[in-house]
Amino acid sequence: MDDIKKKNKIKLTLPKILLAIGLFLWLCIALFFFYRIPDIKKSSPEDEARVIMQDTATVPDLEQIKGLPVAGVDVMTIGFPSDQLIKQGEQTFKNTCASCHGEQGKGDGAGGASLNPKPRNFHALDGWKNGRNIAAMFKTVTEGIPGSAMTAYEFLPAEDRFAVIHFIRNLVGGFPDISKLELADINNIYDLGSARLSASQIPVKLAKENYLKDKSLQKALIGKMCAAYDKNNGDEIKLIRSVISNKEKAFTTIIENAAMESQSRFISVISTNIGSNGFKAEILHHSKDDIMKIYQKLKAII
């Protein structure tokens, strides 16, 4: 019995004593830092109101600007680089292009990091969608590249578009020479020598009102077409019913795509996304005379 009691007693060896002292010191240090943590001040209603006002502050709406006549440009003058045009292009590049293409045109701008495909590296000789000559570059800047983040910049004055191109060509070098024949082709395609109106600008509020108004008018027009479709029992309406799977979708397709501008336009619109645009595939198998009857009847009830 005495032997069992001896075994149950804890032997206070030196390692155990040191371990106990270490744990005690660690606990004291933890409690010391815990009580030194400052109280988290709760935001006052005034502070919360001030933050909300900062985060929900409104900016002035756009000013309404009417488009003004803009004189045509001499392509043979701005189509060739000059110190002034290169300097002008540098500023336009920084304001418009550098965020994606990078300051040095290497396609490493912060705005293009998540894009797929990546922005053009102007230093690379291969992979140019439209080519590297002046006509191809002007086409790219003006029309953009479908399927990529390169949008169309036709709203920029022609001089600025040429200036950006001159800056890029000067920045990198090694581009094909510019010829008068190429510049003449650019002028013929885009009619840059003719006077035109500059882009108009309207306030966002007014644009929203106009959009809602247009949507309301569109809805009323579709309703009118549906009513005529349901009420009329003539041969033309019966023919229309045989090729329509969903009248609301079909009439929405017609209105939103201006399908009634011409018969060729009508055929093009109803042939796109067949089956999901409200029309049956059978409409494509009808004769030209039947298509004409459908077109004329729909045009009459719009």
Shared-domain flag, residues 191 and 77: yes
Is residue 39 included in any domain, yes or no? no
Mean pLDDT of 192-212: 82
Task: Please tell me the distance from the alpha carbon of residue 124 to that of residue 168, in angstroms, as a whole number.
Answer: 12
Is residue 7 included in any domain, yes or no? no
120 with 101: CB under 8 angstroms? yes
Report the length, in residues, of the chain: 302
Task: Please tell me the distance from the alpha carbon of residue 163 to that of residue 85, in angstroms, as a whole number.
Answer: 5
* Average pLDDT score, the chain: 84
Is residue 28 included in any domain, yes or no? no
At residue 180, φ and ψ (nearest 5 deg) are -65, -30
Terminal CA-CA length for the chain = 111
92 with 156: CB under 8 angstroms? yes
Is residue 225 included in any domain, yes or no? yes
Domain limits for position 125: 69-197
Is residue 145 included in any domain, yes or no? yes
Total domains in the fold of the chain? 2
301 with 224: CB under 8 angstroms? yes
- Rounded to 5°, angle at Cα 252 from 144 and 218: 95
Instruction: Please report the pLDDT score of residue 235 as a whole number.
Output: 85
Shared-domain flag, residues 183 and 92: yes
Shared-domain flag, residues 142 and 217: no
- 69-70 and 196-197: which strand pairing? antiparallel
Shared-domain flag, residues 138 and 175: yes
Shared-domain flag, residues 180 and 216: no
Is residue 215 included in any domain, yes or no? yes
Tokens of 203: 């306030």
Please report which confidence band the pLDDT of residue 287 belongs to, taking 50, 70 and 90 as the band edges. confident
Is residue 10 included in any domain, yes or no? no
Which alpha helices (H) appear in the chain, and where do they start and end?
2-8, 14-36, 45-55, 75-78, 83-96, 98-101, 134-143, 158-172, 180-190, 204-231, 235-243, 247-256, 263-270, 288-301
Cis peptide before 157 (omega within 30 of 0): no
Shared-domain flag, residues 171 and 237: no
Flag whether pLDDT at 5 surpasses 60: no
Shared-domain flag, residues 92 and 177: yes
Domain end residue (candidates: 197, 232, 261): 197
Percent of the chain with pLDDT over 90: 32
Task: Please tell me the distance from the alpha carbon of residue 102 to that of residue 122, in angstroms, as a whole number.
Answer: 10
Shared-domain flag, residues 189 and 227: no
Shared-domain flag, residues 169 and 236: no
Is residue 267 included in any domain, yes or no? yes
Mean pLDDT of 88-98: 94
Shared-domain flag, residues 147 and 86: yes
Choose among 108, 129, 130: nearest CA to 119: 108
Give the Cβ contact number of residue 186 at 10 Å: 20
171 with 105: CB under 8 angstroms? yes
Shared-domain flag, residues 287 and 240: yes
> Using one digit for the tens of pLDDT, what is the confidence trace for 118-157?
899 999 999 899 999 999 999 999 999 988 889 889 888 9
Shared-domain flag, residues 165 and 282: no
